[in-house]
Amino acid sequence: MSPPDVLIPARELFQPVIDLESGAVVAVEAQAPDAGTLPPDAVLSPVPTDDAVRADISRAAHSAEAGALLPTRLPLMVTVRAETVARGEPVLTELHRRLTATGRRPGEFIVTVAGGFPPFQRQAVTGALGALRRAGYLVGLGELGAAHAPLDLLAETVPYLVAVHPDLVRRAPSDPRRAALVRSLVELAHGLGTHLLAPGLATEDQVLQQREMGVRLALGPAFAPPEWRPGMPVTVPVTGRDGPGPARPAAVDLGPRVSEFTLPAMTLPDTATADEVLTTLNSETGATSVVLVDGRQRPVASVDRTRFLLKLSGAYGHALHAHKPATRLADRPRLVPRTVPAVAALRAAGQDAERVYDDLVVTDEVGRCIGIVRVADLIRGMAP
């Protein structure tokens, strides 16, 4: 029995978030055992009761607590309802307290705010999304396309990712009208500089169709069984298949922004030892780098997987470096703001001949790390 099986109760459910371009696991969705059993007014009422709000916060917190026990530094994705965060500062403070009590920093969570809300709650929801983002969380919007939420909220709040409603994804293969809606949401997401996430993919045909429509991120039973844990293999039907890549809208002006290619980063404190970085890389074989950040989530150094492992595998490498700061084996991070054109990021990548293919570290408006960009993705995305 593996250590995760001992530490994590079997009833906890974890799903890998898959990058359909590379087949890599880029985040982990954590669901508490009571997911889906909230009181009815937590989902249906525009003004849920205090008990319903507490239940929703507890569900997110229990998901985070279970996920924090996993042997991975991939970002954890947890979900709260829009009606819950609309309660404002007291609820957001409690959510922040319980998430950070797990030992993870805000930048290591993707907080997806799901569900619709009545018009009178728009200002409260918008304020809550902004507060979460200012605290350092990667903020997503869930159930797009079926929940009652205005589309211009996406432009106003600049979410890290947008998740399509699972029912829309499920019915798209057999319903051309719903498939057209998903394609329009993909184009909208590209235009806003964010990613569309397709949840609940259960079959190979669904995966292939979503990829053909341009969806970049996905999760569901098509990729892994219910007992999946980080480090276990995943099945990505599109990997190794010939054919065109995801469709992209025609480039305009300077082309797509770097945020369209941004993926969640694996981060560690800048005080981490080389042995801690090694453990992190060994737990996620698809990871190409680890970003070392300070207490404010600002990038301090970047560890390239290949060069790091080569240094440790040399003569006496582990003995010399394992218990010393990983920054000794790291490089200066190559920073790009999330709003710059992808072509500018590609040019920046080519300025250092020795690090052409190192991951670029994407930062927000206050210099915090919000992800990485793989240069190979930029090259594919900018190719005619």
* pLDDT, tens digit (0-9, with 9 covering 90-100), for 116-144: 888 888 999 999 999 999 999 999 999 99
Nearest one of 184, 164, 187 to 260, comparing CA atoms: 187
- CATH says 261-382 is which class? alpha beta
Q: Which residues, in sequence order, are CB contacts of 106 under 8 Å at separation 6+? A: 96, 99, 100, 135, 136, 137, 297
CATH number, span 3-248: 3.20.20.450
Tell whether the torsion through CA atoms of 127, 128, 129 and 134 is positive or negative: positive
In the chain, which residues fall in CATH 3.10.580.10?
261-382
327-379 pLDDT per residue, tens: 999 999 999 999 888 888 888 888 888 888 999 999 998 999 999 999 998 88
The DSSP result for 271-312, as a single string, is T-BHHHHHHHHHH-TT--EEEEE-TTS-EEEEEEHHHHHHHH
pLDDT at res. 46: 60
Residue range 205-228: average pLDDT? 92
DSSP state of 232: S
In the chain, which residues fall in CATH 3.20.20.450?
3-248
pLDDT at res. 293: 96
How high is the mean pLDDT of the chain?
Answer: 86
Give the total residue count for the chain.
384
38 phi and psi angles, rounded to 5 deg:
-65, 155
pLDDT at res. 3: 43
